[in-house]
Amino acid sequence: MPITRRHTLGLFGATAGSLILPRHIMAQGKRRSVTIAVQKITNNNTLDIWNEQSNVGERVFFPNLWEGLILRDWMGNQGPVPGLATEWQRLDDKTIELKLRQGVKFHNGDELTADDVVFSFSDERLFAGTEPAGGKTLYAEDFKPQNAKELPAGIPGVARRLWPALRGVEAVDKYTVRFHNATPDITLEGRLYAFGSQIANRRAWDEAASYAEWAAKPITTDPYMVEDFRPDVSLTLVAYDDYWNGRPPLERIRFVEVPEVASRVNGLLSGEYDFACDLPPDQIGAVNGTPGLEVQSSTIWNHRITVFNTQNEILADPLVRRAFSHAIDRQAIVEALWGGETAIPAGLQFDSFSASDMFVEGWNVPEYDPDLARDLLAQANYKGDAIPYRLLNNYYTNQTPTAQVLVEMWKQVGLNVEIQMKENWDQIHDPEGDKGVRDWSASNLINDPITPLVVQFGPNGEAQQKRDYANDEVNQLCSVMETSVDKAERKRAITRLLEITEREDPAYTVLHQNAVFTGLKSDLKWKAAPAFAMDFRASNWTA
């Protein structure tokens, strides 16, 4: 082939490029970094999955930072898929054995072994010596840390919430572990991919000077690792190129805390942010109407609820709590505030329960009936005394306007509810002063009705740990749900639990199914999961 000037320049360019920028560096240079505006990064300023059990935590933790033996199929049916374990089998009703994936490296270069798994479910990491038996409520005040390395007071109770009867984990060999439960439990597999059961590096924990130091930069196995965490400001994750499931597609993921919706939207419109999360439906048109931007949305496995505190002298009467539920026109809220983009579920249930025949057919939320609500208040001899409503400013999408609508609906039947704006969850749960109603949400973590009802309202659910609610029959039924292997018995138990907690002695009232709306640059070729989680693995990034 004749050597021409064009050919020579081409060869020179290729040679110069390969000399100056080796192939692996060129590939790395092509990776994009993204900035994501979120309402909140974490609620308690740590990156510990057990200390930060929240919707906002799910967004920054999964599936990019924390990883379990069994993974949740975030982009699919939310069911179990192999993760750090390649296979698992039941040995009996109380025992499950898992084979670990070999060659997996933590962010510090350590290989994942059975010792890390044993540690991740140990007294030191989670249980603080608590007994593997359900039915007993654990209160944070009984577990105050004595030094900087001990667990925060709330973690043992949270751990027993998800693992009420776990006796311990056995290292059979370097790559085999067995989970031993004190009681039968048909949900062990589900518990292994629920929020909390992810694996931490033992050596990193041992070397940390304090829990706070460890929790600000936990060492895990995921595709991204913590580069910089500034509580209430930003969290930056950087690619971990030795990830067992392939090189991460992004160089960096930076979450920035932007509490105001307008600021998140304006930052997206100006190009400052690549993503803007937690958009209310009334912002969809503005984003979709801007060239180069789009909104992705879906309903998710999470329901918005309002919770009652039964220590309040007025709310101690279940008739008053029933009146609250019957005063709510849920369909009006869905249409007016959500543009019909979500739905009213069949109580605290999820359609996915049908796959195991655990969905209670024919069940619905309490009907909208203002006259019945007024009659119930008359029966309760309610005199119009004020009931406090502790409220955060749009922690949940549309939270403040929803609260304002609810207060008006309750006012129409004679309920005197007063909003008390709070800055954070500690103020919401503060035992000082009167507590009344508050907002919350409830998620299906393991595709079984044990979540959310038992996990959130049972003996070690937050409602009881925070002394918002307690019912002896509820606790007995929760024990059945946790230990019975008889499907018919469990179906009767969950049916009765719904009857009590939503009708007879209400613990909460369901408002609507939750939905997420995420604004983003259209050229990103990224898909939103039907969850709060944001998936930035190679399988969900094609740009």
User: What integer pLDDT is reported at residue 25 of this predicted model?
Assistant: 40
CB within 8 Å of 116: residues ≥ 6 apart = 106, 110, 199, 200, 201, 202
The count of other CB atoms within 10 Å of the CB of residue 87 is: 10
User: What integer pLDDT is reported at residue 18 of this predicted model?
Assistant: 30
Instruction: Supply 202's token pair.
Output: 């033992």
pLDDT, tens digit, for every residue of 491-508?
Answer: 999 999 999 999 999 999
d(CA 319, CA 317): 5
Residue with the two structure tokens 């500690």: 426
pLDDT, tens digit, for every residue of 87-130?
Answer: 999 999 999 999 999 999 999 999 999 999 999 999 999 999 99
Backbone angles phi, psi at 151, to 5 degrees: -65, 145
Name which of 161, 192, 182, 185 is nearest 457 in CA terms.
Answer: 161
Q: Which residues make beta-bridge pairs with 85?
A: 100
Q: Which domains does the chain have, with CATH numbers?
A: 42-208 (3.90.76.10), 300-514 (3.10.105.10)
User: What integer pLDDT is reported at residue 542 of this predicted model?
Assistant: 79
User: What integer pLDDT is reported at residue 29 of this predicted model?
Assistant: 55
Tell me which of 450 and 447 has the higher pLDDT: 450
Instruction: Supply 13's token pair.
Output: 């360019």
- Give me the percent of the chain exceeding a pLDDT of 90: 91
Backbone angles phi, psi at 22, to 5 degrees: -55, 160
Chain mean position to CA 88: 25
- What is the residue-averaged pLDDT of the chain? 93
Instruction: Supply 127's token pair.
Output: 């249980």
Residue with the two structure tokens 């799910």: 58
Q: Do 440 and 118 form a contact (C-beta atoms < 8 A)?
A: no
Instruction: Supply 166's token pair.
Output: 């776990």
- Give me the percent of the chain exceeding a pLDDT of 70: 94
User: What integer pLDDT is reported at residue 77 of this predicted model?
Assistant: 86
Whether the bond between 63 and the residue before it is cis, its omega within 30 degrees of 0, is yes
pLDDT, tens digit, for every residue of 134-170?
Answer: 788 999 999 999 999 999 999 999 999 999 999 999 9
Question: For 268-296, what is the mean pLDDT?
Answer: 96
What three-state secondary structure class fits 216? helix
Under the banding of pLDDT at 50, 70 and 90, the label for residue 76 is: confident
Under the banding of pLDDT at 50, 70 and 90, the label for residue 3 is: very low
Name which of 7, 396, 427, 65 is nearest 215 in CA terms.
Answer: 65
CB within 8 Å of 402: residues ≥ 6 apart = 304, 333, 337, 396, 511
Q: What global pTM score does this model have?
A: 0.91
Map 23-36 to HEC letters: HHHHHHHCCEEEEE
Strands 250-257 and 32-38: parallel
User: What integer pLDDT is reported at residue 311 of this predicted model?
Assistant: 96
Judged on CB neighbours under 10 Å (0-12, 13-18, 19+), 24 is exposed
User: What integer pLDDT is reported at residue 525 of this predicted model?
Assistant: 87
**Lowest-pLDDT choice from 20-34, 295-309, 389-403:** 20-34
Residue-wise DSSP of 285-340? HHHHTSTTEEEEEEEEEEEEEEEE-TTSTTTTSHHHHHHHHHT--HHHHHHHHHTT
Tell me which of 384 and 17 has the higher pLDDT: 384
Judged on CB neighbours under 10 Å (0-12, 13-18, 19+), 384 is exposed
pLDDT surpassing 90 at residue 19: no
Q: Which residues make beta-bridge pairs with 239?
A: 224
pLDDT, tens digit, for every residue of 314-360?
Answer: 999 999 999 999 999 999 999 999 999 999 999 999 999 999 999 99
